[in-house]
Chains A and B, each alone.
Chain A
Amino acid sequence: MNPRLLALLGKELADLRRNPGVFMPAVLTSVISLALPFFVAVVVPYATGEQLSDSGDFQRATEMFRSRPLTSGLDPEGAVQAFVFQQFLVLLVLGPVAASMSSAAFSVVGEKQARTLEPLLATPLSTTELLGAKILGAFVPALVLTLATFSVYVSATAAFARPGVFRALLTPEAFAITLLVGPLAALAALQMAVCVSSRVNDARSAQQIGAIVILPIAGLLVAQVAGSVVLTTGLTLSIAAGLAVLNVALLKLGVALFDRESILTRWK
């Protein structure tokens, strides 16, 4: 990897280690995202003594999951749990997005406010390297959080759900959502935030742009739970491909929008 980009990325990660509070909203979002499906599929039935499979609403889910080879051995309650856990997988994507937003939004604005940007721009660092380091500085922790969250999710499902339910999370769709759609969505969100961060004087303005990415993901979750959309492997990969294209376009846009002169002369 480019040594200058690596140098600045190292600084970004060191800065984050010294200021872990920046990452707390993301961790909290992930914890809530993790807890919610367990609350719905495990805690509520346990507390009320009513099985989710008793509800006719989950009939289709039960049939769908019991027809699949990985989960064919599940009992009706296990099939409903598998449905819930897989649907909520999309929610886990929101944690990394939130993680990336708080640090990405502050990335360039923060350098401006601390007056550390001008010495940085006076080095041979190119705009692509600068933005690349800023983006990766937010993305790497987000990716780590995604992987950690997914591991905990699968482990907790194995521990607390009906036997065999966790296998529903080890499907190609689940991996595609977690390892492709989630990180790519996070990357797109933080690229937007970095773009905006380089054009504004206030990190809050940059943070708000994340809603552009978060809202479609939330919409996808709702549509999925409502049964309007079924995330097949093909659809998931198509979304991932669309996000990859969006990311390339955003990087080019970010470099084009990063105007060193305006940043130095119009911002005090």
Chain B
Amino acid sequence: MTPLVAARGLTKRFGSRVAVSDVSLELRRGETFALVGPNGAGKTTTLRMLVGLIAPTAGVVEIDGRPAVPQEAAARRRQIGLLTEAPGLWDRLSVRENLVVYARLYELAAPDTTVDAALERFGIRDRARDPAAQLSKGLRQRVALARTLLHDPAVVLLDEPTSGLDPESARDVRALVRDLASEGRAVLICTHNLDEVERVANRVGVLRTRLLAVDTPQALRARFFGTRVRVLLACDAGRFSGLLRSAGVSDVRVEGPTLSIGTDGDPIAATPDLVRLLVEAGAPVEDVRRETPSLEQVYLRVLDESP
């Protein structure tokens, strides 16, 4: 299936500084792709190149299989909805006026009706007449999201959509992101919030000028941490590490009463044999579970292990 958006070897230099180097990624319909990376990693620059706000120094962007050219920038922008890092609302204009201006900029057939529907969908109908300056940060973000989706774009690019929001507002935004993907849109989200990535993203790309790793969260865990089983004992676990090693289990770590055991394949298949071995040796096993490193641990390891 042709990806909705594809970046091929995207590179951006500002003078001698390389902001983004040789980034290739694909966004498919119904997929949420999270781009994570430290400050200054090039996330926003990548987003801007995808939407055509800045031109890549090298590489191409393809939209629905066709190379995006500057002459068709306006057409490209009709297919993409960009939520910028700041909501960027006109403070003196009402919520409704803000949206109506954008509906007209996109030359929508029925701007007023579309705006009414957006106000309803984002739960801001009762604030439609209020000047944007009077809105809370969470509401401002909702209006900005409504604006991003007014023209029903197939591709949605979100730059730090939950930054600075309270937990309730952030939860609403995450629910929206999931909805967008389920509607068949391709969603790219730039964020520092790895918990958020865990909740909404199908795939993750770790960017630090170049893409260091791209995969599903599960695959990244397996690649950078392997698969491990944690066994909690009611005594010092060090007493049993030698037993495991002598039984051919080489990757054993001891953390107080816990044994962290690396498995070559499926940890679920390997667990009964490990537990039997320990129990037969008299180990007081209290708890056994698959070890799941947090995405933050994975992210930090990716950064640490990449030159």
What residues make up the interface of A, taking CB atoms closer than 8 Å to B? Answer: 3-4, 6-8, 10-11, 14-15, 18-19, 114-126, 260-261, 264-265
Cα A92 to Cα B107 with chains together (Å)? 39
Cα A3 to Cα B102 with chains together (Å)? 11
B224 at the interface (CB under 8 A from A): no
Cβ–Cβ contact A115 & B84, under 8 A: yes
Knowing A119-B144, A264-B54, say if A114 contacts B91 (CB, 8 Å): yes
Cα A126 to Cα B72 with chains together (Å)? 11
**A3: nearest residue on chain B (CB-CB)?**
B107
Cβ–Cβ contact A123 & B55, under 8 A: no
B187 at the interface (CB under 8 A from A): no
Interface of chain A, main secondary structure = helix
What residues make up the interface of B, taking CB atoms closer than 8 Å to A? Answer: 14, 45, 48, 51, 53-55, 73-75, 77-78, 80, 82, 84, 86, 88-93, 97, 101-102, 104-107, 131, 144, 147
* Closest CB in chain B relative to A159 CB, distance in Å: 38
Would you give 14 A-B contacts (Cβ < 8 Å), ordered by A?
A: A3-B107, A4-B105, A4-B107, A7-B101, A11-B90, A11-B93, A116-B89, A117-B88, A119-B88, A121-B53, A122-B53, A123-B77, A125-B105, A261-B54
Cβ–Cβ contact A264 & B101, under 8 A: no
Cα A123 to Cα B52 with chains together (Å)? 10
Cβ–Cβ contact B48 & A126, under 8 A: no
**B148: nearest residue on chain A (CB-CB)?**
A119
Cβ–Cβ contact A15 & B93, under 8 A: yes
* Closest CB in chain A relative to B86 CB, distance in Å: 4
Cβ–Cβ contact B74 & A18, under 8 A: no
Cα A118 to Cα B84 with chains together (Å)? 7
* Closest CB in chain B relative to A124 CB, distance in Å: 4
Cβ–Cβ contact B14 & A11, under 8 A: no
Cβ–Cβ contact B53 & A124, under 8 A: no
**B144: nearest residue on chain A (CB-CB)?**
A119
Cβ–Cβ contact A119 & B93, under 8 A: no
Cβ–Cβ contact B77 & A122, under 8 A: yes
**B105: nearest residue on chain A (CB-CB)?**
A123
Cα A13 to Cα B100 with chains together (Å)? 14
Chain B residues with CB under 8 Å of A116's CB are 88-90
* Closest CB in chain B relative to A172 CB, distance in Å: 40
Knowing A15-B93, A119-B147, say if A124 contacts B101 (CB, 8 Å): no
Residue in A14, A18, A115 whose CB lies within 8 Å of B86: A115
**A117: nearest residue on chain B (CB-CB)?**
B88
Knowing A18-B93, A116-B88, say if A122 contacts B51 (CB, 8 Å): yes
Chain B residues with CB under 8 Å of A15's CB are 90, 92-93
Cβ–Cβ contact B104 & A7, under 8 A: yes
Knowing A118-B53, A118-B84, A119-B144, say if A124 contacts B89 (CB, 8 Å): no
Cβ–Cβ contact B53 & A264, under 8 A: yes
Knowing A8-B105, A115-B84, say if A126 contacts B74 (CB, 8 Å): yes
Q: Tell which of A6, A120, A123 has the most Cβ of chain B within 10 Å.
A: A123
Cβ–Cβ contact B77 & A10, under 8 A: no
Chain B residues with CB under 8 Å of A119's CB are 82, 84, 88, 102, 144, 147
Cβ–Cβ contact B104 & A19, under 8 A: no
Residue in B54, B90, B97 whose CB lies within 8 Å of A114: B90
